Structure 1
Protein backbone atom coordinates (compact mmCIF):
# COMPACT_ATOMS: atom_id res chain seq x y z
CA UNK A 1 0.00 0.00 0.00
CA UNK A 2 2.81 2.25 0.82
CA UNK A 3 4.47 1.50 -2.43
CA UNK A 4 1.26 2.21 -4.23
CA UNK A 5 0.91 5.48 -2.43
CA UNK A 6 4.45 6.41 -3.29
CA UNK A 7 3.82 5.58 -6.91
CA UNK A 8 0.63 7.59 -6.88
CA UNK A 9 2.51 10.41 -5.19
CA UNK A 10 5.21 10.26 -7.86
CA UNK A 11 2.57 10.06 -10.54
CA UNK A 12 0.78 12.96 -8.95
CA UNK A 13 4.01 14.87 -8.74
CA UNK A 14 4.69 14.07 -12.39
CA UNK A 15 1.22 15.22 -13.39
CA UNK A 16 1.64 18.30 -11.23
CA UNK A 17 4.95 19.10 -12.95
CA UNK A 18 3.35 18.60 -16.37
CA UNK A 19 0.45 20.86 -15.43
CA UNK A 20 2.84 23.47 -14.05
CA UNK A 21 4.97 23.28 -17.22
CA UNK A 22 1.89 23.57 -19.41
CA UNK A 23 0.60 26.44 -17.26
CA UNK A 24 3.98 28.19 -17.48
CA UNK A 25 4.07 27.58 -21.23
CA UNK A 26 0.54 28.95 -21.60
CA UNK A 27 1.43 31.83 -19.32
CA UNK A 28 4.43 32.65 -21.54
CA UNK A 29 2.26 32.45 -24.65
CA UNK A 30 -0.25 34.82 -23.05
CA UNK A 31 2.56 37.19 -22.01
CA UNK A 32 3.89 37.13 -25.59
CA UNK A 33 0.41 37.78 -26.99
CA UNK A 34 -0.06 40.62 -24.52
CA UNK A 35 3.31 42.08 -25.52
CA UNK A 36 2.32 41.88 -29.20
CA UNK A 37 -1.01 43.56 -28.46
CA UNK A 38 0.75 46.28 -26.45
CA UNK A 39 3.14 46.81 -29.35
CA UNK A 40 0.16 47.01 -31.72
CA UNK A 41 -1.50 49.54 -29.41
CA UNK A 42 1.73 51.57 -29.25
CA UNK A 43 2.02 51.46 -33.04
CA UNK A 44 -1.60 52.58 -33.38
CA UNK A 45 -0.99 55.41 -30.89
CA UNK A 46 2.02 56.56 -32.93
CA UNK A 47 0.05 56.35 -36.15
CA UNK A 48 -2.86 58.25 -34.60
CA UNK A 49 -0.45 60.86 -33.24
CA UNK A 50 1.08 61.30 -36.69
CA UNK A 51 -2.36 61.58 -38.27
CA UNK A 52 -3.38 64.16 -35.66
CA UNK A 53 -0.24 66.18 -36.37
CA UNK A 54 -0.91 65.97 -40.08
CA UNK A 55 -4.55 66.99 -39.58
CA UNK A 56 -3.46 69.90 -37.38
CA UNK A 57 -1.02 71.07 -40.04
CA UNK A 58 -3.71 70.78 -42.72
CA UNK A 59 -6.19 72.69 -40.56
CA UNK A 60 -3.66 75.43 -39.94
CA UNK A 61 -2.87 75.58 -43.66
CA UNK A 62 -6.58 75.73 -44.57
CA UNK A 63 -7.18 78.41 -41.94
CA UNK A 64 -4.29 80.48 -43.29
CA UNK A 65 -5.53 80.09 -46.86
CA UNK A 66 -9.08 80.99 -45.80
CA UNK A 67 -7.83 84.12 -44.07
CA UNK A 68 -5.79 85.07 -47.14
CA UNK A 69 -8.79 84.47 -49.39
CA UNK A 70 -11.00 86.60 -47.15
CA UNK A 71 -8.46 89.42 -47.18
CA UNK A 72 -8.15 89.19 -50.97
CA UNK A 73 -11.95 89.18 -51.24
CA UNK A 74 -12.15 92.28 -49.05
CA UNK A 75 -9.51 94.03 -51.16
CA UNK A 76 -11.30 93.10 -54.40
CA UNK A 77 -14.62 94.17 -52.93
CA UNK A 78 -13.09 97.51 -51.95
CA UNK A 79 -11.69 97.95 -55.45
CA UNK A 80 -15.03 97.06 -57.03
CA UNK A 81 -16.82 99.49 -54.70
CA UNK A 82 -14.35 102.23 -55.70
CA UNK A 83 -14.95 101.42 -59.37
CA UNK A 84 -18.68 101.50 -58.75
CA UNK A 85 -18.40 104.94 -57.13
CA UNK A 86 -16.40 106.19 -60.12
CA UNK A 87 -19.02 104.76 -62.49
CA UNK A 88 -21.78 106.41 -60.45
CA UNK A 89 -19.97 109.75 -60.64
CA UNK A 90 -19.47 109.34 -64.37
CA UNK A 91 -23.13 108.41 -64.81
CA UNK A 92 -24.21 111.45 -62.82
CA UNK A 93 -21.91 113.67 -64.90
CA UNK A 94 -23.26 112.15 -68.12
CA UNK A 95 -26.79 112.59 -66.84
CA UNK A 96 -26.07 116.25 -66.04
CA UNK A 97 -24.46 116.69 -69.45
CA UNK A 98 -27.46 115.00 -71.08
CA UNK A 99 -29.82 117.30 -69.20
CA UNK A 100 -27.70 120.32 -70.21
CA UNK A 101 -27.73 119.15 -73.82
CA UNK A 102 -31.50 118.63 -73.70
CA UNK A 103 -31.94 122.07 -72.16
CA UNK A 104 -29.66 123.60 -74.77
CA UNK A 105 -31.56 121.81 -77.54
CA UNK A 106 -34.84 123.05 -76.11
CA UNK A 107 -33.46 126.60 -75.91
CA UNK A 108 -32.12 126.32 -79.45
CA UNK A 109 -35.47 125.04 -80.66
CA UNK A 110 -37.24 127.86 -78.83
CA UNK A 111 -34.82 130.37 -80.31
CA UNK A 112 -35.37 129.01 -83.81
CA UNK A 113 -39.13 129.13 -83.30
CA UNK A 114 -38.83 132.64 -81.95
CA UNK A 115 -36.71 133.75 -84.91
CA UNK A 116 -39.06 132.15 -87.42
CA UNK A 117 -42.09 133.62 -85.69
CA UNK A 118 -40.44 137.02 -85.50
CA UNK A 119 -39.57 136.78 -89.18
CA UNK A 120 -43.13 135.82 -90.05
CA UNK A 121 -44.54 138.55 -87.85
CA UNK A 122 -42.51 141.01 -89.81
CA UNK A 123 -43.70 139.30 -93.01
CA UNK A 124 -47.30 139.18 -91.81
CA UNK A 125 -47.30 142.82 -90.83
CA UNK A 126 -46.29 143.60 -94.33
CA UNK A 127 -48.75 141.26 -96.07
CA UNK A 128 -51.57 140.94 -93.56
CA UNK A 129 -51.69 137.12 -93.80
CA UNK A 130 -52.31 136.09 -90.20
CA UNK A 131 -53.56 132.58 -91.04
CA UNK A 132 -50.24 131.68 -92.77
CA UNK A 133 -48.40 132.62 -89.61
CA UNK A 134 -50.62 130.34 -87.46
CA UNK A 135 -50.13 127.38 -89.82
CA UNK A 136 -46.33 127.83 -89.88
CA UNK A 137 -46.15 128.36 -86.12
CA UNK A 138 -48.08 125.11 -85.50
CA UNK A 139 -45.88 123.18 -87.98
CA UNK A 140 -42.66 124.44 -86.37
CA UNK A 141 -43.90 123.61 -82.88
CA UNK A 142 -44.61 120.03 -83.98
CA UNK A 143 -41.06 119.67 -85.23
Structure 2
Protein backbone atom coordinates (compact mmCIF):
# COMPACT_ATOMS: atom_id res chain seq x y z
CA UNK A 1 0.00 0.00 0.00
CA UNK A 2 1.11 3.53 -0.72
CA UNK A 3 1.01 5.15 2.71
CA UNK A 4 2.50 8.61 2.43
CA UNK A 5 1.24 11.13 5.01
CA UNK A 6 -0.66 13.07 2.31
CA UNK A 7 -2.22 9.84 1.07
CA UNK A 8 -3.21 8.86 4.63
CA UNK A 9 -4.84 12.28 5.18
CA UNK A 10 -6.78 12.15 1.93
CA UNK A 11 -8.02 8.64 2.68
CA UNK A 12 -9.07 9.74 6.17
CA UNK A 13 -11.04 12.70 4.83
CA UNK A 14 -12.62 10.49 2.17
CA UNK A 15 -13.53 7.90 4.83
CA UNK A 16 -15.32 10.41 7.02
CA UNK A 17 -17.20 11.99 4.09
CA UNK A 18 -18.28 8.57 2.80
CA UNK A 19 -19.22 7.42 6.31
CA UNK A 20 -21.40 10.52 6.73
CA UNK A 21 -23.07 9.82 3.38
CA UNK A 22 -23.82 6.19 4.28
CA UNK A 23 -24.95 7.14 7.78
CA UNK A 24 -27.43 9.65 6.35
CA UNK A 25 -28.63 7.10 3.78
CA UNK A 26 -29.05 4.46 6.49
CA UNK A 27 -31.12 6.82 8.62
CA UNK A 28 -33.27 7.61 5.57
CA UNK A 29 -33.85 3.89 5.01
CA UNK A 30 -35.15 3.59 8.57
CA UNK A 31 -37.14 6.85 8.67
CA UNK A 32 -38.82 6.83 5.24
CA UNK A 33 -38.75 3.24 3.97
CA UNK A 34 -41.93 3.81 1.92
CA UNK A 35 -40.12 6.26 -0.36
CA UNK A 36 -37.35 3.75 -0.98
CA UNK A 37 -39.89 0.99 -1.54
CA UNK A 38 -41.15 3.02 -4.52
CA UNK A 39 -37.79 2.68 -6.30
CA UNK A 40 -37.13 -0.94 -5.34
CA UNK A 41 -37.40 -3.26 -8.34
CA UNK A 42 -40.38 -5.63 -8.19
CA UNK A 43 -38.11 -8.69 -8.40
CA UNK A 44 -36.57 -7.92 -4.97
CA UNK A 45 -38.09 -10.37 -2.45
CA UNK A 46 -39.25 -9.09 0.94
CA UNK A 47 -38.60 -5.52 -0.18
CA UNK A 48 -39.84 -3.73 3.00
CA UNK A 49 -37.64 -5.92 5.18
CA UNK A 50 -34.69 -5.59 2.81
CA UNK A 51 -34.96 -1.79 2.98
CA UNK A 52 -34.82 -1.85 6.79
CA UNK A 53 -31.94 -4.34 6.86
CA UNK A 54 -29.98 -2.32 4.31
CA UNK A 55 -30.52 0.80 6.41
CA UNK A 56 -28.99 -0.95 9.40
CA UNK A 57 -26.15 -2.23 7.19
CA UNK A 58 -25.42 1.29 5.92
CA UNK A 59 -25.25 2.63 9.48
CA UNK A 60 -23.04 -0.23 10.67
CA UNK A 61 -20.88 0.07 7.55
CA UNK A 62 -20.42 3.80 8.17
CA UNK A 63 -19.32 3.16 11.74
CA UNK A 64 -17.03 0.29 10.71
CA UNK A 65 -15.44 2.42 7.97
CA UNK A 66 -14.03 4.82 10.56
CA UNK A 67 -12.75 2.07 12.86
CA UNK A 68 -9.38 0.61 11.96
CA UNK A 69 -10.03 -3.08 12.77
CA UNK A 70 -13.15 -3.21 10.57
CA UNK A 71 -12.20 -0.67 7.90
CA UNK A 72 -11.11 -3.11 5.18
CA UNK A 73 -14.27 -5.21 5.55
CA UNK A 74 -16.45 -2.10 5.66
CA UNK A 75 -14.92 -0.91 2.39
CA UNK A 76 -15.62 -4.22 0.68
CA UNK A 77 -19.14 -4.40 2.15
CA UNK A 78 -20.07 -0.84 1.24
CA UNK A 79 -18.71 -1.28 -2.29
CA UNK A 80 -20.80 -4.43 -2.74
CA UNK A 81 -23.78 -2.63 -1.25
CA UNK A 82 -23.37 0.29 -3.68
CA UNK A 83 -23.27 -2.21 -6.53
CA UNK A 84 -26.36 -4.04 -5.28
CA UNK A 85 -28.52 -0.89 -5.07
CA UNK A 86 -27.68 0.23 -8.59
CA UNK A 87 -30.84 -1.45 -9.98
CA UNK A 88 -32.99 0.69 -7.65
CA UNK A 89 -31.21 3.82 -8.89
CA UNK A 90 -31.80 2.72 -12.48
CA UNK A 91 -35.51 2.08 -11.78
CA UNK A 92 -35.76 5.47 -10.06
CA UNK A 93 -34.36 7.16 -13.18
CA UNK A 94 -36.14 5.19 -15.89
CA UNK A 95 -39.55 5.17 -14.21
CA UNK A 96 -39.27 8.86 -13.28
CA UNK A 97 -40.38 8.22 -9.70
CA UNK A 98 -40.91 11.43 -7.77
CA UNK A 99 -39.19 11.37 -4.35
CA UNK A 100 -39.07 14.91 -2.98
CA UNK A 101 -36.73 16.57 -2.14
CA UNK A 102 -34.70 14.60 -4.74
CA UNK A 103 -35.27 16.22 -8.14
CA UNK A 104 -36.99 14.00 -10.68
CA UNK A 105 -34.77 15.08 -13.52
CA UNK A 106 -32.01 13.62 -15.63
CA UNK A 107 -29.88 16.46 -14.30
CA UNK A 108 -29.96 14.43 -11.06
CA UNK A 109 -30.35 10.87 -12.38
CA UNK A 110 -27.65 11.02 -15.07
CA UNK A 111 -24.82 12.05 -12.75
CA UNK A 112 -26.17 9.79 -9.99
CA UNK A 113 -26.03 6.72 -12.22
CA UNK A 114 -22.64 7.69 -13.66
CA UNK A 115 -21.17 8.24 -10.19
CA UNK A 116 -22.15 4.82 -8.84
CA UNK A 117 -18.84 3.27 -9.96
CA UNK A 118 -17.05 6.20 -8.29
CA UNK A 119 -18.83 5.43 -5.01
CA UNK A 120 -17.75 1.80 -5.32
CA UNK A 121 -14.15 2.87 -5.98
CA UNK A 122 -14.34 5.41 -3.15
CA UNK A 123 -15.37 2.77 -0.62
CA UNK A 124 -12.55 0.47 -1.70
CA UNK A 125 -9.91 3.19 -1.86
CA UNK A 126 -10.64 4.98 1.40
CA UNK A 127 -10.75 1.64 3.24
CA UNK A 128 -7.31 0.71 1.91
CA UNK A 129 -8.58 -2.23 -0.14
CA UNK A 130 -7.10 -0.78 -3.34
CA UNK A 131 -4.50 1.85 -4.21
CA UNK A 132 -5.55 2.42 -7.80
CA UNK A 133 -4.80 4.77 -9.46
CA UNK A 134 -2.10 5.90 -7.00
CA UNK A 135 0.10 2.82 -6.80
CA UNK A 136 3.68 3.19 -5.63
CA UNK A 137 6.16 3.21 -8.48
CA UNK A 138 8.21 0.08 -8.91
CA UNK A 139 11.91 0.64 -8.51
CA UNK A 140 13.75 -1.17 -11.19
TM superposition score category, shorter chain reference: under 0.3
TM-score, normalised to structure 2, is 0.24
Structure ID, larger Rg = 1
Larger helix share, 1 or 2: 1
The TM-score, its normalising length taken from structure 1, stands at 0.23
